[in-house]
Amino acid sequence: MNYFSSNFKLGILGGGQLGKMLLTETRKLDIYTCILDSNTEAPCKIGSNEFHLGSLMDFDTVYQFGKQVDVLTIEIENVNIDALEKLEKEGVTVYPASKTLRIIQNKAKQKLFYVDENLPTAPFSRFAYVSEIEDAIENGGLKFPFVWKAAQFGYDGNGVKVVRNLEDLKKLPKGECIAEELIPFKNELAVIVSRNAKGEVKTFPVVEMEFHPEANQVEYVICPARIEPEIAKKAERIALKTSEAFKHVGLLAVEMFLTQDNEILINEVAPRPHNSGHQTIEANYTSQFEQHIRAILNLPLGSTANKAGGIMVNLVGAEGYTGNVIYQNIEEIMNMEGVTPHIYGKKETRPFRKMGHVTIVNKDINEARKIAEEVKNTIKVISK
């Protein structure tokens, strides 16, 4: 099929920053791209060929949008899967497939999938209601501390909490959830796997993630990860095995824990471009966004090798500020060597909201990490 400068239409469900970065690639290749999002100020509003306003969870809205495109993909998992299933039956190409999304959209189903597929993951219990957790604690089936995760609609640290006592439990939403053993891990790693419909598979180099202690959000993504080569190979093997189990097309970001005794456990996956791959825009021969487009259109996959060491710093709204955004000291970081800011186009900041990211590239990853710290301490996302 001729995708370039033609009548072909690509549809993306979701108009946030991931969609915006995908649009950079579709514009580069002149692929006609349609976006569906519920926000009139979505970052993707500028840059798409068509912008459709509507709910991603509404069956008719997603179905009618999907009928107008040749290939449909996502930049967020929280979409109406029944509509995707119907579109697939009617001949629309949907990646990731509805059956993959149905598993991944629900954390309880996702964890059960790992168990069924013999993939390593932290021990867990599944609960229909939070009240059932109290019963499990009373009868000794569950012990503090543990990690509570909402089964659905969690994102960026929302829907995840370490529960240390009954008081913590009382503050949680009441619905379906899992309670996961708290793993005293050394490190959090991630591997992004790309796969096209022909079955060609490539992995991006392993990254390590440093988290913000309060917000439970990634502060730094470091690539290559500062780990032993055999641990990197092990992480890659597990990511490939996970990708094979899902048989997804597109990208699959596999987040993992590295335990104190060097075991690797899968935390969760995302079937789309991911926060752990933003540095690939500057640091790799092929960015994760270009690779996703290549994969879903069944084109040859690009080289995933690093050109240099890369670190990504998330730009999130500073605490105590809500309102029209100001990027304080942005000129200062632009004066630093190897530093590239990406601003997502969200007009309003609020505490811990993802507003952009900054990539630092350097031949020496330790030097890049020092500059990243400087970037983090210099730029502030505030409001008027």
Q: pLDDT for 43-90, tens place per residue?
A: 999 899 999 999 999 999 999 999 999 999 999 999 999 999 999 999
Does 154 lie in the same domain as 79? Answer: no
Model pLDDT for residues 251-292, shown as the tens digit of each residue:
999 999 999 999 999 999 999 999 999 999 999 999 999 999
Model pLDDT for residues 303-335, shown as the tens digit of each residue:
999 999 999 999 999 999 999 999 999 999 999
109 is in an annotated binding site: no
Does 312 lie in the same domain as 329? Answer: yes
By the 10 Å C-beta count (0-12 exposed, 13-18 middle, 19+ buried), 274 is classed as: buried
Q: Which of 159, 181, 203 is the last residue of a domain?
A: 181
- The Cα 168–Cα 137 span in angstroms is 13
Q: By mean pLDDT, which of 33-37, 79-83, 165-169, 187-191 is the weakest?
A: 165-169
pLDDT higher than threshold 90 for residue 94? yes
pLDDT range class, residue 155, cuts 50, 70, 90: low
115 occurs within a structural domain? no
149 is in an annotated binding site: yes
pLDDT in the model for residue 324: 97
Question: Average pLDDT of 331-347?
Answer: 97
118 occurs within a structural domain? no
Does 339 lie in the same domain as 209? Answer: yes
pLDDT higher than threshold 90 for residue 191? yes
Does 156 lie in the same domain as 62? Answer: no
181 is in an annotated binding site: yes
Q: What residues form DSSP beta bridges with 252?
A: 193
Q: By mean pLDDT, which of 74-78, 156-160, 300-304 is the weakest?
A: 156-160
Please give the C-alpha separations between residue 305 and each of 73, 189, 282, 351, in angstroms, as whole numbers: 25, 17, 12, 35
pLDDT higher than threshold 90 for residue 212? no
183 is in an annotated binding site: yes
Does 237 lie in the same domain as 158? Answer: no
Question: Which domain does 24 fall in, by range?
Answer: 9-94
100 occurs within a structural domain? no
Does 203 lie in the same domain as 176? Answer: no
3 occurs within a structural domain? no
CATH, residue 151:
3.30.1490.20
Does 171 lie in the same domain as 212? Answer: no
134 is in an annotated binding site: no
87 is in an annotated binding site: no
Does 343 lie in the same domain as 195? Answer: yes
Model pLDDT for residues 114-123, shown as the tens digit of each residue:
999 999 999 9
251 is in an annotated binding site: no
107 occurs within a structural domain? no
pLDDT in the model for residue 157: 64
Both tokens of 136, joined, read 């499990």
User: Which one, of 344, 311, 300, lies nearest residue 325 by Cα?
Assistant: 344
- The Cα 154–Cα 318 span in angstroms is 21
pLDDT higher than threshold 80 for residue 215? no
Does 334 lie in the same domain as 213? Answer: yes
| % of the chain at pLDDT higher than 70 | 98
Does 241 lie in the same domain as 347? Answer: yes
User: Which one, of 280, 267, 347, lies nearest residue 308 by Cα?
Assistant: 280
110 occurs within a structural domain? no
CATH, residue 303:
3.30.470.20
117 occurs within a structural domain? no
pLDDT higher than threshold 90 for residue 203? yes
Does 207 lie in the same domain as 78? Answer: no
| % of the chain at pLDDT higher than 90 | 87
CATH, residue 21:
3.40.50.20
pLDDT range class, residue 156, cuts 50, 70, 90: low
Does 153 lie in the same domain as 14? Answer: no
Instruction: Count structural domains, the chain.
Output: 3
167 is in an annotated binding site: no
296 occurs within a structural domain? yes
Q: Which of 181, 201, 225 is the last residue of a domain?
A: 181
- The Cα 348–Cα 18 span in angstroms is 18
Please give the C-alpha separations between residue 141 and each of 108, 115, 243, in angstroms, as whole numbers: 18, 19, 32
107 is in an annotated binding site: yes
